[in-house]
């Protein structure tokens, strides 16, 4: 039996796809990795908000699934929209790696630093930590962003720790942010294996239940905030506490809420956003 595994074509994405393939290998199963270019890969200059924000690295992979060009799509769970597309489901979440954000180029935040990131979530929380920072937009794959830090004379860039770890670039990390300082993106650190509804059996053996529970709770918080909220939103479940966040992109206000029910947390965040609007 041949299982076609779809992935973005970046070095990190293909590394992640190969990791997923290792989990799916079994007697009688042949695996083929199929690289697919997404909208987020084609446009590497515009801010994410201008090309669709969440989902810009996912849509083409989902269409390939629906068109039966692939059988499994490997996503960084943080790139997925907060609800599943009709006809598709996440058949497995692999064991979660480090969900934290990482500072590369420095080992602490200092006043007046120039820091590169394209993430509104990171921007808001960084400025809340230190309002004198200069945040400069920076896109591209991990290798590109690390290179551009030097070319542009930035003091640091902020990246997902898990991606650096997966590529053997942990040495680039000067600081792994505590979630109390930078709350991670919903799903950060986890890989999601998406399949057509009814094909969950193809990947079910690779599913890690604890990761599924945490990531699904995080995605549910973001979904409950509602599509009308354009402010930076984050959610993270550390195994005991579910935390949600909404903020102004300039860091002038940040609201954090904790609780057990994702829908209630999402509503609290939506209410907080309306109060500040």
Summarised one tens digit per residue, pLDDT across range 219-270 is: 999 999 975 567 899 999 999 999 999 999 999 999 999 999 999 999 999 9
pLDDT beyond 80 at 45: no
**Could you write out the DSSP letters of every residue in 245-275?**
EEE-TTSS-EEEEEES-HHHHHHHHHHHHHH
Class of 101-176 per CATH?
alpha beta
Domain ranges of the chain: 1-95+190-207, 101-176, 208-277
pLDDT beyond 50 at 50: no
71, 79, 97, 101: the active-site residue: 79
Which CATH superfamily groups domain 208-277? Answer: Porphobilinogen deaminase, C-terminal domain (3.30.160.40)
* Residue 262 backbone phi and psi in degrees, to 5: -60, -40
Between 118 and 226, the higher pLDDT residue: 118
Taking alpha carbons only, the member of 220, 218, 264, 226 closest to residue 243 is 218
Equal fold, 1-95+190-207 vs 101-176: yes
pTM score, whole prediction: 0.90
CA separation for the pair 132, 10 (Å, rounded): 34
pLDDT beyond 50 at 52: no
Query: Above pLDDT 70, what percent of the chain?
Result: 92
Domain 1-95+190-207 is found in CATH 3.90.930.60? no
Active site residue 97: no
Which band of pLDDT confidence, cut at 50, 70 and 90, is reported for residue 153? very high
Which band of pLDDT confidence, cut at 50, 70 and 90, is reported for residue 166? very high
Question: Contact, 5 vs 35, CB < 8 A?
Answer: no
Give the three-state DSSP class for 159.
Answer: strand
């Amino acid at each position: 039996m041949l299982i076609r595994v779809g992935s973005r074509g970046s070095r990190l994405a293909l590394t992640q796809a190969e990791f997923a393939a290792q989990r799916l290998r079994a007697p009688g199963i042949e695996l083929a990795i199929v690289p697919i270019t997404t909208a987020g890969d084609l446009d590497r200059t515009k801010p994410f908000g201008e090309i669709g924000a969440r989902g810009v690295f996912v849509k083409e992979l989902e269409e390939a699934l629906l068109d039966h060009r692939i059988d499994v799509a490997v996503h960084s769970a943080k790139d997925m929209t907060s609800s599943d597309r009709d006809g598709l489901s996440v058949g497995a979440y692999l064991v979660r790696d480090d969900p934290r954000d990482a500072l590369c180029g420095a080992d602490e935040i200092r006043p007046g630093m120039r820091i590169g990131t394209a993430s509104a979530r990171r921007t808001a929380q960084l400025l809340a930590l230190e309002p004198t920072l200069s945040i400069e937009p920076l896109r591209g794959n991990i290798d590109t962003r690390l290179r551009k830090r030097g070319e542009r004379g930035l003091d640091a860039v902020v990246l997902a720790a898990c991606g650096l770890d997966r590529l053997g670039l942990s040495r680039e990390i000067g600081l792994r942010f505590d979630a109390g300082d930078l709350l991670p993106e919903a799903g950060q650190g986890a890989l999601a294996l998406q399949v057509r509804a009814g094909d969950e059996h193809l990947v079910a053996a690779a599913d890690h239940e604890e990761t599924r529970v945490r990531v699904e709770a995080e995605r549910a918080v973001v979904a409950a905030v509602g599509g009308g909220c354009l402010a930076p939103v984050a959610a993270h479940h550390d195994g005991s506490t579910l935390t949600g966040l909404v903020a102004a992109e300039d860091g002038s206000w940040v609201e954090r809420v904790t609780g057990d029910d994702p829908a209630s947390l999402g509503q609290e965040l939506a209410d907080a956003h309306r109060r500040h609007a």
